[in-house]
Amino acid sequence: MKARYWVLFFGIVLFSQLLLASSLYPSHVEIKLASSVKTPLAKEPFWLVVQFKMEPGWHINGPEAVEAGNPLTLNWSLPTGVRILETVWPEPKMVQHGSIVSRIYEKEVWVLVKLEADVPLHQGKVGLDIKYVTCGDSCMLGNSHLDLNFPVDTALISEPDLYYWLQEGRLHQDVNMDFSWVLAIVFAFISGILLNLMPCVLPVLSLKLLSLLHYKGLMQNQLIKHATFFACGVLSSFWAVAGILAILKSQGQQLGWGFQLQSSTFVAFLSVTFLLLAMNMWGVFEIGTSLVGLDEKKLGSQRDFSYLSSFLSGVLACVVASPCSAPFMGTALGVAAIQPFFISFLIFSSLAIGLAFPFIMVCVFPKTINWLPKPGRWMETLKQILGFALLATVFWLVWIFGHQKNIDDVGELFGILLISAIGAWIYGRWSNINNSRLTRKLATACMVLSLGMSSFLIVNVTPGTSIKYLPVQWETYSPERLQVLREQGKSVFIDFTATWCLTCQMNKKVALESEDFLKKVNQLGIVVMRADWTNQDPKITVALADYGRNSVPLYVLHQGGEKSSPIILPQILTPKILVNELDKSLKNKVLS
């Protein structure tokens, strides 16, 4: 009988927590998944419907809301032998705030997905992960997971409703098919040109254009060949992106330009890339200068200004453009996201041609080079100024990374950037021709080692690992609270720490957040307190003096009992040291 009451009690507590969570964090969006048939038959197409119903005054971003927040994405988990044939999106509403354009859904919308199964689905389950942004008085990220089991009992949609939303979606597609994709191609071309003015692309393109000053003697047909290779580099890179998007789309994911920035690992890699490009422009090292045609030690050598250099410059332009967006770009790529692959391919091609267009024009009309000043020291000055534009992009990427992760991971990313910078500096300092061959090889090895270490840390550290064991609740240190706990016979562990203390942060990461320590704390019922000395605090200063210290870190363990003497732990901690000290304190407490 008592067991029933306990079950009832915990059920009431759990239900109240769910109600509290829903009241504190309302989603403002109701999402349902339904089917047009009860049991799909073999080789007979059927429809699944994702129903979104927004509260008044609230909306969600559409699948192509690139410029104003994350787009709506659908990630399907389908049974074997089931494939997506078509996705019908209703027409979003376009909203513009200054230069930012977003396409949103309000009130109620249905997204329809046409599927086909190789065999009848008498038993099976379809899963759907939905990521969206909902906005009203404020904006918040939303994640939902829906499952639909076959045969379907209740989640069936009527034919009139299905027909209505199909007409709505296809009317939007049919009306705009002949015009919108043509307009999108034009917008993509314009946005590609404007993309050259973005701080992440401008430095690379500027150096490529300035490099032409040293090759005024080239024939026009040679310049046109360089423009062709540069355009091929840009086009092939954008085609690769379009292909990846098409493959992911065929697997049920709805993604757009910038989807790669949703990965903190990619953002970290991009941060290192931009930092190295900035250091290259400041002259810290010269590797890759032939990539943009500005190796000052080989000026006048037309062999260095190779066609491969132009092609790789095009690839680099696409890479550095990945975190950027330009006016009209969101609209153009939004259309590409809902069009067939061929049209999407044309839109991406137009964007690439727009990005390469300025360089192509200079090569086709070489007289425009005469408008630029003659080569001189001003080029080196401009090159260094453009490096600061790339550094600003690094700061922006770190800011994005911080929002994706936490402050500790940002610190790790700064460490990775430092390792990469040191490797680049060593290479630039000792790899020049004035040093011995052995010195140059060692410098190159250091550069490769630093980049390898940075890559390893990005892949294995930046994703982070969550603490599987439920962490304890750290209390804020106060002498009064410590006195009360000791009078109650509680054992207390105190962490005297500061954000600017590297040893403190290392101990926190390695030992104080370890599963072994947290388990032992919960097992022994020890109260843990944190005395944060990041800012001046007289109480903590006095407490440190009472323990005979004037610096951090300091780790103190008070056994249960007001008269017990405090135990000072080592400044360098490991999980084993902590667990052993806690076990030792328990034995002493029992013996006393």
The amino acid occupying position 435 is N
In contact, 63 and 102? CB cutoff 8 Å? no
> DSSP assignment of 19-38, as one string?
HHHHHHS---EEEEEEES-S
Contact partners, residue 12, CB within 8 Å, separation at least 6: none
- Written as tens digits, the pLDDT of the chain (592 aa) is 455 544 444 454 444 443 433 433 456 788 888 887 888 887 778 888 888 888 887 877 777 644 445 677 788 888 888 888 877 777 777 666 554 556 778 888 888 888 888 887 778 888 888 887 777 666 676 778 888 888 887 777 776 677 667 666 554 444 444 446 677 788 888 888 887 777 667 776 666 666 665 555 567 777 788 888 888 988 998 888 888 777 766 655 555 555 666 678 888 888 888 888 888 888 888 754 444 444 444 434 444 446 777 788 788 777 777 666 656 665 566 666 666 777 788 888 888 898 888 888 888 887 776 676 666 677 778 778 878 878 888 888 888 788 777 777 888 889 899 999 999 999 888 887 788 888 888 988 998 998 889 888 888 765 544 444 456 789 999 999 998 888 888 889 999 988 767 678 888 888 888 888 888 888 888 899 999 988 878 898 889 888 888 778 899 998 876 677 888 898 888 888 888 888 876 665 544 4
CA 541 to chain centre: 40
- Sheet of 82-88: strand order equals 29-35, 46-54, 108-117, 82-88
Would you say the C-alpha torsion 391, 392, 397, 401 has a positive or negative sign? positive
Bond before 203 cis per omega within 30 degrees = no
Sketch the domain layout of the chain as residue ranges.
28-176, 180-404, 475-591
Determine how β-strand 59-61 pairs with β-strand 124-135.
antiparallel
CATH architecture type of domain 475-591: 3-Layer(aba) Sandwich (3.40)
| Distance from C-alpha of 280 to C-alpha of 273, rounded to nearest angstrom | 11
Structure tokens at 48: 């699944």
Cα gap 240→250, rounded to integer Å:
15
How far, in Å, CA of 493 to CA of 549, rounded? 17
Number of H helices, E strands in the chain: 18, 15
CATH class of 28-176: mainly beta
- Angle at Cα 462 formed by Cα 460 and Cα 464, nearest 5°? 85
